Structure 1
Amino acid sequence: MLTRRRFLGYSTAGLLTAATGCTPPFLEDPADRDAHSSGTVHPSLANKAGLARLKNRFLGYPVNLTMPSEEFFAWRQELQSVGIGQFAYNNVGNPYKESAIPYNTHDLERELIAGMSKLYAFPPQDIWGFLSHSGTDSNMHGMYMGRTLLQGRTGKLPKVYFTREAHYSIQILRDLLGLDAVFVDTLPDGGMDPSDLERKLADNVSRPALVVATVGTTFKGAVDSLDRIRQALKGHSYYLHLDAALFGGYLPFTAHAGEVAYRSTADPGTPRYDSIAVSCHKFFGFPAPAGLFITTKSRFEEFNELFGRIHDPEYIHQVPGTITCSRDAVKPAEFYYFSTPEAQERLARDARSMLANTSWLMERMQSRFSGWQPARMNDLSNTVFFRRPSDRLVKKYSLATMHLTIGSQRLDYAHVVIMPHADRGVLTEFLDDLEKDPPGF
């Protein structure tokens, strides 16, 4: 079997044929596949091929539709050559403990978390994490860990604090975990208002606080100030989970990396949050939903001691520490590629290009379409929102839409999220379409 180093050392032209002896199906043209197909093709596949040709117009949601590099597919092929993805591998349990099931990828999962935790300035000797099924799954683990720790420390269930700008999964998980919600007001830019958080905490002093902060809110791209939130939390028993699903992917490769850092350079001894969730299919462009969940080993061990009183399945030889039991072993092995130096060089280029394109679009919307009320909340954001265009454009570019209250008015808005696949060509096409489609407001 080829080693990963030798495998990825092939030139891109001969990379995949060297490994497999043929061009794998994921790099063939769909039309060529159809021409050589001898079996019955499912009728929906022709439509899927058409969608693939239009993917650059997908502007409304934070999913990176750029095809991963050939090296990623080569790595996937190498994994398959040893059986990973070919039969039932299972990452059940804690990846940092020996598993009763030898068919796992815990070793790659540990390496992945070690590599990714550097992006968020976690102490290298004090990390714990895993690859979850999705960003929502990572948020669930963070909120469940916070609930368990706070109840264990105080004997009381916490209340959960978040804003209405936070992702809708937080409200679902709040309900699932049986927690009382405290909605914190927002600042004009959509970020959490630390002064209102302080007032709400004062109104609920008898209960610990589980706070979910957001770096990159769903519609406006606002950023909650972690440092000001921590100031408001002084004197309270709290757990602070950070939902950085989209922004947590690209900010570490920019001058704004400190926004998602676990420790600040000014005060390296004080953690800025307790756990972080980042989606893998958003900025990174991993071709399936998955999520990073990272916390510290010391915090996990405190949690797992409490968790073990609830759930101690002797037959798997460990207290798993995860809510989900069986876990996908293929995704962490595949996503491991994105922690490698070659992948991170490309991610850094994508991050720079994405923010530059966001600035470019915002400037042109302000100069050509000021009546559409375009807004970008901050320089960290890859989101521009504006008054809702016609149904035709909403459909053509798959735009997300929402009702927003501006002053005393409730108005219809849409937004564009600039992902790496959204180049200036498609953004120019979008602007030209706006010009041909005068607003109906």
Structure 2
Amino acid sequence: MLTRRRFLGQSALGMLTLAGGCAPASLVRLKDRAPVVTTDARSLAVKARRTALRDRVLGYPINMLMPNDDFFAWRQQLQAVGIGRVAYNNVGNPFERSSMLYDTRDIEKRVILDFAPLYGFAPDDTWGFVSNSGTDSNMHGMYMGRTLLKARTGVLPKAYFTVEAHYSIQILQDLLGIERVLVGTRPDGSMDPADLQQKLAANADSPALVVPTLGTTFKGAIDPLDEIQAALQGHAAYVHLDAALFGGYLPYTRHAVELLRGGSSGIPARYDSIAVSCHKFFGFPAPAGLYLTTAASFEEFHRHFSRVHNPEYIRHVPGTITCSRDAVKPAEFHYFTTTGARAALTENANGILQRTGWLLDQLRTRLPQYRATRANELSNTVCFRQPSQALITKYSLATMRQSFDGKADECAHVVVMPHASEAILSEFLADLEADTRVPT
């Protein structure tokens, strides 16, 4: 079995020999090829401008901080043993023995098992994989839910979510060919359990595929998982939790309990599967995601999935919708399970919540006309009335029509990510004070 210690200790030739092959000539040539570095004044100016623009991305949940030197040293060690230099492929189930010569599925499995405790999954009852994106994780969760509910009841489920859910949920509901049931929301944008209960009663003949959100896209609201489970009692259901952004940083704060599945004897778990993005809070420099569920749920799903997808070609039922998967991403993302990385994640997670509170206080004190709001203390999102187009462009602000005090208005939000320093936020506040779009 290829462990982290083992693969980082191998040379490229040794690693490839260990895998059962030999080093291709192209890989040997790559080792001797010097990188092309451009240092002319124009390129340096472009780089400086991009850095300034990067730091001012305030409207979207992307961590624009460049990963630290340790991450790139980790990446170089991976490349030194050939990972990322030849065609590695994580096709199939990472919890099955691999038939591929070049993959990192054992590392992928380790990533899932290392993250499992953060979400309350038992080490001996966990399954998952590193996906291509948060949407890919949501797709697998909704597909698993649809498959299990149809097999258990003989009836195709209906998908329950709110208008505040990520737009991928709407796409995936249509892709899966199931009917949607839009659930109403509370003033903060979270799912209304009372309305959910009414909608369930109105659709009593169909099982429910419920997709709550921990950190809605625009308002940063948190759907109440315990109240949702209470509403689902007596109704056949599967709950897939979209925690793309909040699922990244909350485990490193005092609010970590909000992510736990829970459940015990006689008490159902709060959700069946979860999606978390790697490229949002973590700052992983490529779209990727985590998908986790229980081993028991996967085994049940696997029995039905094998009837429609059982390729002899790879010698086992893959268990994932996507076939070939990027093998470099799990190996690189494994860095974020190290002690040093987790210390940095803890600092970043608590820092963004502190700065979000500071930004909200500043907006309410200095610029009350913007009517700034924050859905909850776990959220790193602050919503306010829309400023001028010049500021929307300068700070890459997302805008939507929202309701403030019962009146609809054009709104924007700031998502305080690790790169959004107090200096950048202060610059933003000064620009708002000078803006004339919103009257005092």
**TM-score (normalizing by structure 1):** 0.90
Aligned equivalent of 2:432, options 422, 429, 434: 434
Q: Structure 1 residues 52 and 267, CA, compared in 2 at 3 Å: closer, same or farther?
A: farther
Q: Distance in 1 between matches of 2:345 and 2:268?
A: 29
**In structure 2, how many angstroms separate the alpha carbons of the residues matched to 1:202 and 1:6?**
55
Q: How far does residue 210 in structure 1 lie from its aligned partner after superposition?
A: 0.1
List, as ranges, runs of 4+ consecutive aligned residues in structure 1 with deviation greater than 4 Å: 3-8, 43-49, 266-269
- 2:213 is matched with 214
Q: CA RMSD in A?
A: 2.4
What is residue 116 of structure 1 aligned with on the other side? 115
Residue 291 of structure 1 is matched in structure 2 by: 289
Q: Distance in 1 between matches of 2:44 and 2:310?
A: 45
The SS at the match of 2:211 is strand
In 1, are the aligned partners of 2:7 and 2:81 still within 8 Å (CA)?
A: no
The question of 1:411 aligning with 2:406 is answered no
Instruction: Write out per-residue CA displacement over residues 287-336 of structure 1, whole angstroms, 9 at most, x where no aligned residue.
Output: 00000000010100000100001110011000001000000000011001
Matches of residues 275-424 of structure 1 in structure 2 within 5 Å? 275-406=273-404, 409-424=407-422
Amino acid in the other structure paired with 2:124: Q
Match of 2:39 in 1: 34
Match of 2:201 in 1: 202
Q: Report the 3-state secondary structure (helix = DSSP H, G, I; strand = E; otherwise coil) of the residue aligned with 2:87.
A: coil
SS of equivalent to 1:126: coil
CA distance in 2, matches of 1:181, 1:45: 51
Letter in 1 for 2:153: T
Aligned-pair identity in percent equals 58
- Cα 1:164–1:45 shift into 2, 3 Å: farther
Amino acid at match of 1:33: T
Determine the C-alpha separation between the residues in 2 that align with 1:261 and 1:199: 27
User: Helix, strand or coil for the counterpart of 2:292?
Assistant: strand
Partner of 1:180: 179
Distance verdict in 2 for CA 1:250–1:223, change over 3 Å: same
> Could you tell me which residue of structure 2 aligns to residue 161 of structure 1?
160
* CA–CA separation in structure 1 for the residues paired with 2:384 and 2:197: 32
Are 1:372 and 1:439, in contact at CA under 8 Å, matched by a contact in 2?
A: no
Q: Which residue of structure 2 aligns with residue 240 of structure 1?
A: 239
Query: Secondary structure in 2 aligned to 1:125?
Result: coil
Report the residue type matching 2:98 in the other structure: S
Decide which moves more: 181-190 or 334-343: 334-343
Alignment size in residue pairs: 415
Residue by residue over 1:250-277, the C-alpha shift from the partner in whole angstroms, topping out at 9 and shown as x without a partner, is 001111111111126x989642100000
CA distances 1:72-106 after superposition (whole Å, capped 9, x unpaired): 11111111111110010000010011222121001
The one-letter code sitting in structure 2 at the alignment partner of 1:308 is S
Q: For 2:93, give the aligned amino acid.
A: N
Task: State the AA in 2 paired with 1:369.
Answer: L
Which residue number corresponds to residue 87 of structure 2? 88
Q: Amino acid of the residue matched to residue 38 of structure 2?
A: R
Secondary structure at 1:34's aligned position in 2? coil
Partner Cα distance (2:306, 2:7) in 1 = 43
Which digits, 9 at most, give the CA deviation of each residue in 1:343-368, with x for residues without a partner? Answer: 11110000111100000000010000
In the alignment, the residues of structure 1 paired with residue 43 and residue 412 of structure 2 have an alpha-carbon distance, to the nearest angstrom, of 30
Deviation at 1:439, TM superposition (A): 3.0
What's the CA shift for 1:438? 2.5
Distance in 1 separating the partners of 2:80 and 2:266: 43
Q: CA deviation at 1:407?
A: 5.7
| Pair 367,255 (structure 1): closer, same or farther in 2 beyond 3 Å | same
In structure 1, the residue matched to 2:17 is none
CA distance in 2, matches of 1:45, 1:111: 40
Contact 2:369 2:438 (C-alpha < 8 Å) held by counterparts? no
How far apart in 1 are the matches of 2:290 and 2:349? 18
Corresponding letter in the other structure for 1:365: L
* Native 8 Å contact 1:4 1:75 kept in 2: no
Residue 131 of structure 2 is matched in structure 1 by 132
The AA in structure 2 aligned to 1:35 is D
CA change 1:152–1:59 in 2 (3 A) is same
Give, in whole Å, the separation in 2 of the partners of 1:204 and 1:6.
Answer: 53
> What is the TM-score normalised by the length of structure 2?
0.90
Contact kept, 8 Å, 2:127 with 2:294, in 1: the verdict is: yes
What are the superposed Cα offsets for residues 23-52 of structure 1, whole Å, 9 maximum, x if unpaired?
A: x97xx9xxx73239xxxxxx9997465213
Q: Which amino acid aligns with 1:148?
A: T
Q: What secondary structure, in the 3-state scheme, does the structure 2 residue paired with 1:54 have?
A: helix
- Mapped partners of 1:7, 1:349: distance in 2: 27
